[in-house]
Structure 1
C-alpha cells in the first residue's frame, strides 16, 4: 500500500518519532493525547490539501514541506461511516467525540488504523449516500505507529516542491 504525507523539511528524517509530534502530545481530530498516531493520506492530492491547514499559501508550504511517499504492507483499516460522524466532526478546535472514536479504533487489536474524511472538503460530500462520492474524500488514513504492519512502513522518497509554482497565481 502506498501512502503520502507532507513532512516538515526539518523533521522528515525523523518521521517515525511520533511521540515528539503535536498530534500525540496534545491530541488531534481523530485521537486523544498520548494515543500513538500518524496522519497519512491515500492520495497525493489529499496530502497536499491537508498541508494547507499549516501554511498560509503554496509558496510558504513549498518552503516548509516535502511530500513523502511511503510503502507499507497491507493494513487492517476501519472506515468511519457517515452515520458515525458527530454533527461537528469537522470543527476546530477538535471535539472530544471524534477523538474518542479514533482513539478507540487506533488502540483496538483489530485495526492498524482508520480511514476518515478530510475536514478541508465540503461537509456534505462526507455524508453522501453515494459510495463513489464519499470515497473520493475518505482519503485520510490515521495509523497507530505501534502496530506491527505500520512499523514496517518505509519512506520511499520525498519530493519538493509540494505545490506547482502556478498555484494561485
Structure 2
C-alpha cells in the first residue's frame, strides 16, 4: 500500500488507503499523470467486485469537498478530511472526483472497514499505454 507510506490526496502518510478509479479510462489517465508521462512496463488493470450496499459508500458532492481538494500538489485540507474519514471507519469507500478530470470519479477504499474483506478480484488485465501518448506534440507519428 504505497499510499500508506507516502500519503496521497486523501490520506496522510502512515494512514493506509487504497485508491482506485471507477473506470478503466480514469485509471489509465491517473497512472499516466502519476508516472510523469514515462512508459511503464508490465502494468495491470484490476477489476474488482465491491459490496453492492450503497450505504457502504460516501459519495462526496462538490459542495461537501474540502477547500483546495483539487490543488496540485495536493494539500492538507483533503489529506486531513480523508484521514479523519479513514480513521472513523464509517464507510468502506469514499467516492471523490478526480483532480485530473473532475467529471470522472475515484474511490478511496478503507482497508480497515469490516466489509473490506468482501472485496473480490474479478479479473486482471494486461495494460500498456498507446505509444503515441509519449510522443511530443508536433512530432510526426
TM-score category by the smaller chain? Answer: 0.7 to 0.9
Q: Which residue of 88, 91, 95 maps to 1:111?
A: 91
Aligned pairs for 1:60-71 within 5 A = 60-61=39-40, 63-71=41-49
Using the alignment, how far apart are the partners of 2:10 and 2:22 within structure 1?
A: 16
CA distance in 2, matches of 1:73, 1:148: 12
Which runs of 5 or more residues in structure 2 are unaligned? 136-140
1:144 equivalenced with 2:115 (yes/no):
no
- Distance of 1:101 and 1:144 partners within structure 2: 13
Q: Please give the secondary structure, in 2, of the residue aligned with 1:52.
A: helix
Alpha-carbon distance in structure 1 between the residues aligned to 2:80 and 2:35: 27
C-alpha deviation, 1:57, in angstroms: 3.8
CA contact (8 A) 1:117 1:140 kept: yes
Contact 1:115–1:140, Cα closer than 8 Å, also in 2 = yes
Quote how far apart the aligned CAs of 1:164 are. 4.0
Q: Deviations over 1:12-36 (max 9, x none)?
A: xxxxxx3xx2x11231100122222
Q: Which residue, 39, 46, 62 being the options, matches 1:82?
A: 62
How well do the aligned residues superpose, as a CA RMSD in angstroms?
2.2
Shift of 1:166: 5.7
**Partner of residue 82, structure 2:** 102
The Cα shift of 1:77 comes to: 1.0
Q: Which runs of 4+ in 1 moved over 3 A?
A: 162-169
Q: TM-score, normalised by structure 1?
A: 0.68
Corresponding position of 2:138: none
Maintained 8 Å contact 1:74/1:149: no
8 Å contact kept, 2:60–2:95? yes
For residues 125-164 of structure 1, what are the structure 2 equivalents within 5 Å? 126=102, 136-137=103-104, 139-164=105-130
